[in-house]
Structure 1
Amino acid sequence: MTRVRDQTSVIVDRGKYGDAVTPWEEATWRDAALEWVDGRLAERGLRAAGELRVRLRPWSVLVRVPVEGRDAVWFKANPPDSAFEGPLTVALARWAPRYALEPLAVDPGRAWTLLPDGGELLRTALDDGRAGPRVWEDLLRRYAGLQHTLVPYAGRIELLGVPSARTRALPDLFDRVLAESSALRPDDRRRLDGLRPRLVAWCEELAAVGVPDSLDHADLHEGQLFRPEPGRFTFFDWGDAVVSHPFCSLLVPACAARDRHGPEVLPRLRDAYLEPWTGAGRSRAELTRAVTLAWRLAALARACSWGRVFPSVSGGGTPGGAESASRLLELFHEPPL
């Protein structure tokens, strides 16, 4: 029987992170992980059948494993601070099966997940012209619907280990991230200290609109969702997720669409995203203002996410510290909506 751990043909992609620290370099860890994949495949009567493709990033190890007679499967290893991703993916497959992949196996203690292939990435359809600007409206409408569905589960999502960044607690999160940042220049730190009263007011105003906290993917771009067929989307890669104001999710996909199609798409994307949130006594003006506030405040969760990387054994600085500081400074950017 062909075993994953016996494959001699392995292609490793490090992207722009050639010096990234991951456990893949440790032979003992690597053998254990691939043996685990072998075992989970064998339980389903499956076996590996070819070259492994390994994608190494500071925040994950991802291995594409070809399988005899069917689509490939994907092994993912998360750092300790995003070990919740496997259990969260299991829960999402139960609560919203149309919008999430159901894992083939999860080892929560080791933060390992084995996933089926999800089909074509939205990025592929955009790159070759089979999808255009309107596809973003459809996906945001559906993603907002998913978030709306998940509102009652927010507390249970936090119990899975997903970080809490609830709207009214964002000032405390700001204080913590600012205190822990060692990469900020002194003048930037002073600017951020001076911004705090305004940030508190933004959070209070946003909370007063009454949209409840829910799951925020926090990095939902065209490479983080599948489009197995027109009008259907599967959301994945939840390692940056938080429980926060749902509107914070709009920042990343809207910017990705703007970069591809121009700023004129933004109002239509906002309107599509807001459709599931209308009603309940909220005016259109309040919801539009809430989008502007959440767009700016989304920088906080994104700053935190850079702490969820594999720990360095060198002791040479905080992993992701410069990127986290850069995200904090996005609080000064004026939202385009």
Structure 2
Amino acid sequence: MRDDVAWTVDRGRYEDTVTPWEQESWRTAALAWVADALAAHGLRAAGPLRVRLRPWSVLARVPVAGRPAVWFKANPPASGFEGALTAALARWVPRHVLAPLAVDADRGWSLLPDGGALFRDLLERRAVGPETWEELLRQYADMQRALVPHTRDIARLGVPDARPDRMPRIFDELIARNTALRPADRSRLDRLRPRLLDWCAELAGLGVPDSLDHADLHDGQLFHPEPGRYTFFDWGDATVSHPFCSLHVTARRAAERYGPAVMARLRDAYLEPWTDDGRTTGELRRAVDLAWRLSALGRARAWGGLFPAAPGATAPGTAGASLSGHSARSLLELLDEPPF
């Protein structure tokens, strides 16, 4: 694939975003890597690229002759583990994830096949009841349970460590570097810290083993390739953490569609696969309450995983300031009571 291939660019709301795509040498290397990766599978690109540039990723849809398009993704250093993690997940839990066509772990590049219909697209095409969300959460929980023996291997890939005993330090670091917190909100969070220490200790003491937390599992982050089956993708925000931290984003998104009463139903569906370990329903629900609050730390941390600023830049730009604001709002969710 030559550097003179045609492409269109979507920057969304981040018009001032600077990514490696603007660097000709980087772009040339990336396009050559994609061409070589396709050739290794007997494939070739056919047609213009659609490139989506965001502060946290470069994503390009690459049309391929004779088959569905493939997707090139480049991560910034903070989430550069995603390609290697995706490849490892394809070995450990192949039914639940996409198998990449190629990964360059050193450069944070990956090439992925088309995953079929997004769950979001299914929701737009026809009426879907809460039972569908229950099933996807059961399958996601099954995947997390299968990954428990691989937790140390996941951490060795560079996936951030956000286990309960690490959460107080993460909290302190996020508070210290956030530039968008108002003084009154910073004081509220400072006063919350003793309670946060208690929550972390209690959550760890309940004994649910750590696993992989997607940290942003919504209807646009999973495919529904066939009836009764879901595959999960986009692991750039993932952490090694308490598995129940994953429930927050999914349940909130479902509640936007069906109303808040659905949350308890989804919680219990998610917990079904975890009942085999001898813990009571009360213990598991208590763990969900604690993880619901503490999951805010994972979301707040994820907003900092951006491409480095351009050389000579003296300020983070409007995109960086906006994302700092998102991180601040996530931190303030620690103050919210669980909705169950």
TM-score range, shorter chain: over 0.9
Question: What residue number does 2:23 align with?
Answer: 26
User: 1:245-301, CA deviations, whole angstroms, 9 ceiling, x for partnerless residues?
Assistant: 000000001011111121121111001100111133311111111111111100001
User: 1:302-334, CA deviations, whole angstroms, 9 ceiling, x for partnerless residues?
Assistant: 111111111112231483322212211111112
Please state if 1:271 is matched with 2:274: no
Q: Give the Å deviation of 1:4.
A: 5.5
Please state if 1:282 is matched with 2:285: no
- The structure 1 residue matched to 2:330, chosen from 324, 327, 330, is 327
Identity %: 63
- The structure 2 residue matched to 1:235, chosen from 227, 232, 237, is 232
- The structure 2 residue matched to 1:245, chosen from 238, 242, 247, is 242
Following TM superposition, the consecutive aligned residue runs of length 4 or more in structure 1 with deviations greater than 6 angstroms are none
Normalised by the size of structure 1, how large is the TM-score?
0.96
Q: Give the Å deviation of 1:237.
A: 0.2
CA RMSD of aligned residues (A): 1.3
- Whole-angstrom distance in 2 between the partners of 1:280 and 1:45: 46
Q: Is the 8 A contact 2:80 2:105 kept in 1?
A: yes
Aligned residues: 334
Q: Give the Å deviation of 1:207.
A: 1.3
Please state if 1:179 is matched with 2:176: yes
For 1:81-92, list aligned pairs within 5 A: 81-92=78-89
Q: Secondary structure at the match of 1:93?
A: helix
Question: What residue number does 2:314 align with?
Answer: 315
Q: Is the 8 A contact 1:4 1:65 kept in 2?
A: no
Question: What residue number does 1:291 align with?
Answer: 288
Question: What residue number does 2:5 align with?
Answer: 7
After superposing the two structures, state which structure 1 stretch, 45-54 or 111-120, moved more: 45-54
- Whole-angstrom distance in 2 between the partners of 1:84 and 1:43: 23
After superposing the two structures, state which structure 1 stretch, 28-37 or 109-118, moved more: 28-37
User: 1:212-244, CA deviations, whole angstroms, 9 ceiling, x for partnerless residues?
Assistant: 111000000010001001111110000000001
Which residue identity is paired with 1:135? T
For 1:95-114, list aligned pairs within 5 A: 95-114=92-111
Which residue identity is paired with 2:195? R
Which residue identity is paired with 2:332? L
Q: Give the Å deviation of 1:132.
A: 2.8
Which residue identity is paired with 2:314? G
Which residue identity is paired with 1:7? V
Q: Give the Å deviation of 1:183.
A: 2.1
- Whole-angstrom distance in 2 between the partners of 1:133 and 1:54: 34
Q: Give the Å deviation of 1:130.
A: 5.2
Which residue identity is paired with 2:315? G
Q: Secondary structure at the match of 1:123?
A: helix
Q: Secondary structure at the match of 1:304?
A: helix
Which residue identity is paired with 2:204? A
Runs of 5+ consecutive residues of structure 2 not aligned to the other structure: none
- Whole-angstrom distance in 2 between the partners of 1:158 and 1:134: 33
Q: Is the 8 A contact 1:295 1:335 kept in 2?
A: yes
- Whole-angstrom distance in 2 between the partners of 1:109 and 1:206: 35
- Whole-angstrom distance in 1 between the partners of 2:43 and 2:148: 37
Question: What residue number does 1:76 align with?
Answer: 73
- The structure 2 residue matched to 1:202, chosen from 179, 192, 199, is 199
- The structure 2 residue matched to 1:137, chosen from 134, 137, 144, is 134
Q: Is the 8 A contact 2:134 2:270 kept in 1?
A: yes
Q: Is the 8 A contact 1:14 1:56 kept in 2?
A: yes
User: 1:147-178, CA deviations, whole angstroms, 9 ceiling, x for partnerless residues?
Assistant: 01111111110000000001122112111211
- Whole-angstrom distance in 1 between the partners of 2:129 and 2:241: 30
